[in-house]
């Protein structure tokens, strides 16, 4: 599997934002990293770090151990990145996007859409008829969309994602 750094970072931004990428970079080539050390390095609070780690945990990206601080009496967590799982995450997110586009494609194929020239709303022809083809937001006349153009655009998006997917798994 060939994962570029760009793909990894894109996936992490999607689940945990830019700060997630910062945490990822600190954890990347290390094991059992003290959470306080991460917070100090990134100038974030321990709560911010724990929130990001929580998001990572949702995707099994992290294994953690904890030790009791004898003096202070609380637990300190140590984190290790689960690198194999990052590959799965990238593929999972791509697959999810492909499925969303496929559903969208089905919907586009099954209906004729009308939209407001000011982009307030888009309705199926049935709903547009109920509104006498008028935009409920700005009162403009709704215009029929170019169905073929929409479908071509979605198909192109699916093709691109599928190519990326194949490239990663090749
Ligand atoms: Zn409008």
Task: Determine the distance separating the centroid of ligand 1 and the alpha carbon of 123, expressed in angstroms.
Answer: 11
Q: Write out the H or E segment, with its range, that includes residue 81.
A: strand 75-81
Task: Determine the distance separating the centroid of ligand 1 and the alpha carbon of 139, expressed in angstroms.
Answer: 6
Task: Determine the distance separating the centroid of ligand 1 and the alpha carbon of 125, expressed in angstroms.
Answer: 16
Among 62, 56, 74, 55, which residue's Cα sits nearest to residue 33? 62
Spatial separation of the C-alpha atoms in residues 163 and 156, rounded to whole Å: 11
Mean pLDDT over 163-168 rounds to: 90
Per-residue pLDDT tens over the stretch 15-40: 999 999 999 999 999 999 999 999 99
Contact 100, 107 (CB under 8 A): no
In the chain, which ranges are E strands? Answer: 33-34, 62-68, 75-81, 113-115, 122-124, 143-144
pLDDT at 48 over 90: yes
Domain positions in the chain are 5-81, 94-169
Structure tokens at 24: 């990822």
Q: Who has greater pLDDT, 2 or 81? A: 81
Task: Determine the distance separating the centroid of ligand 1 and the alpha carbon of 133, expressed in angstroms.
Answer: 11
Architecture of domain 5-81: Orthogonal Bundle (1.10)
Task: Determine the distance separating the centroid of ligand 1 and the alpha carbon of 142, expressed in angstroms.
Answer: 8
Burial of 75 (0-12, 13-18, 19+ CB in 10 A): exposed
In 44-170, which ranges are E strands? Answer: 62-68, 75-81, 113-115, 122-124, 143-144
> What is the strand order of the sheet 75-81 is part of?
33-34, 75-81, 62-68
Burial of 4 (0-12, 13-18, 19+ CB in 10 A): exposed
Task: Determine the distance separating the centroid of ligand 1 and the alpha carbon of 124, expressed in angstroms.
Answer: 15
Task: Determine the distance separating the centroid of ligand 1 and the alpha carbon of 138, expressed in angstroms.
Answer: 4
**Residue the block writes with tokens 């215009």:** 143
pLDDT for the residue numbered 102: 98
pLDDT at 49 over 80: yes
Contact 101, 82 (CB under 8 A): no
pLDDT for the residue numbered 170: 83
Task: Determine the distance separating the centroid of ligand 1 and the alpha carbon of 32, expressed in angstroms.
Answer: 54
pLDDT-based confidence at residue 4 (cuts at 50, 70, 90) = confident
pLDDT for the residue numbered 107: 95
pLDDT for the residue numbered 1: 62
Per-residue pLDDT tens over the stretch 87-128: 999 999 999 999 999 999 999 999 999 999 999 999 999 999
Task: Determine the distance separating the centroid of ligand 1 and the alpha carbon of 145, expressed in angstroms.
Answer: 14
Task: Determine the distance separating the centroid of ligand 1 and the alpha carbon of 146, expressed in angstroms.
Answer: 18
Task: Determine the distance separating the centroid of ligand 1 and the alpha carbon of 118, expressed in angstroms.
Answer: 5
């Amino acid at each position: 599997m060939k994962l570029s750094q760009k793909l990894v970072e894109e996936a992490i931004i999607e689940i945990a934002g830019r700060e997630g990428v910062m945490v990822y970079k600190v954890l990347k080539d290390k094991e059992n990293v003290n959470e306080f050390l991460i917070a100090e390095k990134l100038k974030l609070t321990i709560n911010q770090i724990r929130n990001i780690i929580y998001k990572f945990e949702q995707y099994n990206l992290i294994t953690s151990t904890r030790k009791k601080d004898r003096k202070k009496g609380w637990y300190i967590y140590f984190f290790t990145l689960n690198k194999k799982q990052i590959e799965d995450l990238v593929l999972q997110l791509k697959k999810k996007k492909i499925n969303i586009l496929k559903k969208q494609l089905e919907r586009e194929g099954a209906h004729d859409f009308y939209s407001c020239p000011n982009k307030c709303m888009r309705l199926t022809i049935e709903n547009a008829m109920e509104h006498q083809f008028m935009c409920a937001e700005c009162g403009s006349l709704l215009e029929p969309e170019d169905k073929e153009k929409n479908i071509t655009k979605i198909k192109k998006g699916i093709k691109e994602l599928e190519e990326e997917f194949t490239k990663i798994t090749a």
